[in-house]
Structure 1
Amino acid sequence: MKTGNLLFSEMLSKSPKSSGEKLSDHAMIGQLNSFLFDATDNDAVERHDQFYRDHKLLLVLFRVLAVMPIQRTSPGRMSFSWKSSATIYAFIFWTVMTIIVLIVARERIQILYTTKQFDEYIYAVIFVIYLIPHFWIPFVGWGVAGEVAEYKTSWGKFQLIFYRVTGTSLQFPHLKSTILAISVGCLLCAFLFLFALSFFLEGYPLWHTLAYYHIIIMINMNCALWYINSRAIKTASTALTTCFQKEIVSSHSSDVISKYRMLWLYLSELLQSLGNAYARTYSTYSIFMFINIVIAVYGAFAEIVDNTDVSRDSYKEVGLIVDGLYCSTLLFIFCDCSHNATLGVAKGIQKVLLEIDVRHIDRKAKSEIDLFIFATEMNPAIVSLKGYVNVNRELITSFIATITVYLLVLIQFKFTLN
């Protein structure tokens, strides 16, 4: 098999030379795929797909929860089929859980019509809202499983190309142990949270928690999944920058700069495909968190204002505060890890490019540096949920501003009623 450098030399020799004939970035990525990857390389992808092996446990848990029925059907390839055993199991599991959820929802909704206490009403609303994500699963899980499978397959291709370009395999230090700890933590948090509810809240039977376990675990695991993907992309960008910095010190060849430019574009495209593949999932996820935060904070504030005796049912206010902090934390992790991933992809490679001493390189290499910098500016590393919203720290401030407005309106409305 040809080495990565020889393949790139052959590819560059066949590329258009004039500036008017230069390929677009997406065309160059396609050319990178055609020269460094073909259908016979599935076994090679399997050998180098360390990311899949490290986060395989997470994928298994999502299949067990019937959320994302994708499978490793062949070496180096993830796929989804409506007729697969994983999808059939997901449908059966979801149907059985739907019956339980509907029974519990019926009793929870009855509380809304019978209770006259504000705190019980708020809790009833929150528990009804927590049941809603179950009915989203076919739309936000199965409906995007094909796109998610394609995104996961792209990770394997990227790691093989990374190896052939840099000569080193991409590694994710401590990722497997981190995923194991996060998975156990998600399960324990769900069980402890629901057991505490049944213990502290009057009129909340223990069997009602059966309808919530898979939902709470799914919410926690979705946050963990986004964190793991963002962390993996940040790790890949750091490794790419390190390899490029080492190679550019020994050789200022235009071929070296060109191949790393196309590898960086592939990574940038991988980051963008993350947001596109999970757009439905995390759009509904954000809406769910937003509604919970508004209701929980409003309920806690109203309880504190109404109750002059601070010792009376104080745990109920604490429960609402905990729910608000829980949703706020998950929402912050979702936005912050995306911000860190995009920052790592963009800033690291730009710093290396700007540190190159252009006085000691030829004109062709200078042109490649200009193209590389231009590519980083014209293809910004962003996570967008199919164009509806960019996931970064600015999204956090936007949520805070909107939540504040809604809370002010609700609090004014309550004071008016009083």
Structure 2
Amino acid sequence: MEISDLAQLYGNELHIKQISKWLRGSARAQEIQKRSELDSKDGHVIDEHDQFFRDHKLLLVLFRVLGVMPIQRGEIGRITFGWTSIPMLYAYVFYVVTTVLVVLVGYERFDILLNKSKKFDEYIYSIIFIIYLIPHFFIPFVGWGVAYEVCDYKNSWGGFQLHYYKITGKNLQFPLLSTLIIIISLGCLILAVVFLLTLSALLEGFTLYHTTAYLHIITMINMNCALWYINCRAVGNASTALAESFQNDVDRNCSAYIIAHYRVLWLSLSDLLQKMGNAYARTYSTYSLFMMANITVAVYGFTSEIVDHGIRFSFKEIGLLVDSTYCLFLLFVFCDCSHQASLNIARRVQVTLLQVNLSQVDPATRKEIDIFLVAIQMNPPKVSLKGYTVVNRELVTASVATIAIYLIVLLQFKISLLNMRG
């Protein structure tokens, strides 16, 4: 059974027959019952409690400026997407203009690769620069093509935060998230500019004009990593707040009614994590493949130079090493923050449930605790890219192992060519 199915089942059957009994004996239950009358379909109610949108709306604006994800707060309390909306029309124009630049620069890079490159390191750099142009052509598929699913994921945050408020009586907070977004966004842009200006100054054939085709691509790659980190951090904030509130409620009033409500809330958060992976499945599948391809080519170029000339640490060798390290770092951040988000959702809640002294609670509460633990065991929170892969630390080791295999094959092929020439 899917997490969303479980959430719906338990949400509709929260011991309806016992509610009146709990309401007579618990002021806490009466508070929850009163707040439960808030309409989750009312956009004004959702907007009032949607702190996540207010904190991260700058990130949405930046992705609209890049023409990658043209979604907007089209209705009160809801994020919307339309193929004829104003952000989408801007995205069309921006994409056409940047495509012209990318095609012109790409043609020149191919010309350098096929007709002007004489040395091995020049070939490698030309290949890498061509690889860096490829993500631009993925935008309609991995950006616009998943916009409806991203809207569904973003809107699920509004429902979850309202649900959290109904149970806890306070709005969900994301400490320093808005400040962090400003710092990371500026950092992504500055890194892209510095990286491209450095290449233009130090590499022959990489003119300042070429940077115009790469700027939005490098910035988009950096921002995609930042976007994933921010989403995972938000899930981590939500899981921490849920666990702390659950611990406090269990310490004050460990009842079946309270535990049943928190079970539904926990399942909603797990469903939110699952929706995040599904919404961005195309985006981060291609993102991971791009990183792996770039790392493989860069490390192959670096090791080939060592095989041919020994360790000299020329600028071009250092550039290849920096490129591979940079891509590996982005891949690690992508996998590690997913791992942390998945781990935090279940751990503290499980500890709280296991610490309850079952001999001091009634049979209904013991049953609720057992059901909650079974729900966690049957539906372990994880970030899955629509079933193609689970994003965790194991993905880093699997990617490195795959890269190593390709490198061994390529180096064996190179050594065989050298032996044939010798």
- Fold agreement, TM-score > 0.5: yes
> Do 2:71 and 2:81's aligned partners in 1 also have CA atoms closer than 8 Å?
yes
Task: Give 1:169's aligned residue.
Answer: 171
Change beyond 3 A, Cα 1:184–1:72: same
DSSP-derived class of the 1:212 partner: helix
Task: Give 1:151's aligned residue.
Answer: 153
Task: Give 1:29's aligned residue.
Answer: none
Separation of aligned partners in 1, 2:57 and 2:400 = 35
> Do 1:37 and 1:161's aligned partners in 2 also have CA atoms closer than 8 Å?
no
Task: Give 1:318's aligned residue.
Answer: 318
Shift in Å at residue 413 of structure 1? Answer: 1.1
Runs of 4+ off more than 2 Å: 8-17, 35-41, 307-311
Task: Give 2:80's aligned residue.
Answer: 79
Separation of aligned partners in 1, 2:200 and 2:261 = 59
Separation of aligned partners in 2, 1:144 and 1:135 = 15
Q: Which amino acid aligns with 1:362?
A: D
Change beyond 3 A, Cα 1:258–1:123: same
Task: Give 1:42's aligned residue.
Answer: 43
Shift in Å at residue 136 of structure 1? Answer: 0.3
Change beyond 3 A, Cα 1:288–1:83: same
Percent identity for Structure 1 against Structure 2: 56
Separation of aligned partners in 2, 1:415 and 1:146 = 49
Shift in Å at residue 396 of structure 1? Answer: 0.8
Shift in Å at residue 220 of structure 1? Answer: 0.2
Task: Give 1:287's aligned residue.
Answer: 289
Separation of aligned partners in 2, 1:155 and 1:56 = 13
DSSP-derived class of the 2:251 partner: helix
> Do 1:36 and 1:161's aligned partners in 2 also have CA atoms closer than 8 Å?
no
Task: Give 2:3's aligned residue.
Answer: none
Separation of aligned partners in 2, 1:326 and 1:403 = 15
Q: Which amino acid aligns with 1:75?
A: I
> Do 2:11 and 2:264's aligned partners in 1 also have CA atoms closer than 8 Å?
no
> Do 1:80 and 1:146's aligned partners in 2 also have CA atoms closer than 8 Å?
yes
Shift in Å at residue 106 of structure 1? Answer: 0.3
Separation of aligned partners in 1, 2:12 and 2:297 = 61
Task: Give 2:118's aligned residue.
Answer: 116
Shift in Å at residue 179 of structure 1? Answer: 0.7
2:200 is aligned with 1:203: no
Q: Which amino acid aligns with 1:215?
A: I
Shift in Å at residue 39 of structure 1? Answer: 5.6
TM-score under structure 1 length normalisation: 0.91
> Do 1:37 and 1:157's aligned partners in 2 also have CA atoms closer than 8 Å?
no
Q: Which amino acid aligns with 2:220?
A: M
> Do 1:237 and 1:345's aligned partners in 2 also have CA atoms closer than 8 Å?
yes
Task: Give 2:374's aligned residue.
Answer: 374
User: Residues 214-249 of structure 1: CA distance to partner in whole angstroms, max 9, x if unpaired?
Assistant: 000000000000000001101100100000000011
Aligned residues: 394
Q: Which runs of 5+ in 1 are unaligned?
A: 1-7, 18-31
Separation of aligned partners in 1, 2:253 and 2:11 = 15
Task: Give 2:7's aligned residue.
Answer: none
TM-score under structure 2 length normalisation: 0.90
Change beyond 3 A, Cα 1:408–1:40: closer
DSSP-derived class of the 2:73 partner: strand
Shift in Å at residue 42 of structure 1? Answer: 1.4
Shift in Å at residue 74 of structure 1? Answer: 1.5
Equivalent residue runs for 1:68-147 within 5 Å: 68-114=69-115, 115-147=117-149
User: Residues 100-121 of structure 1: CA distance to partner in whole angstroms, max 9, x if unpaired?
Assistant: 1000000001112111210000
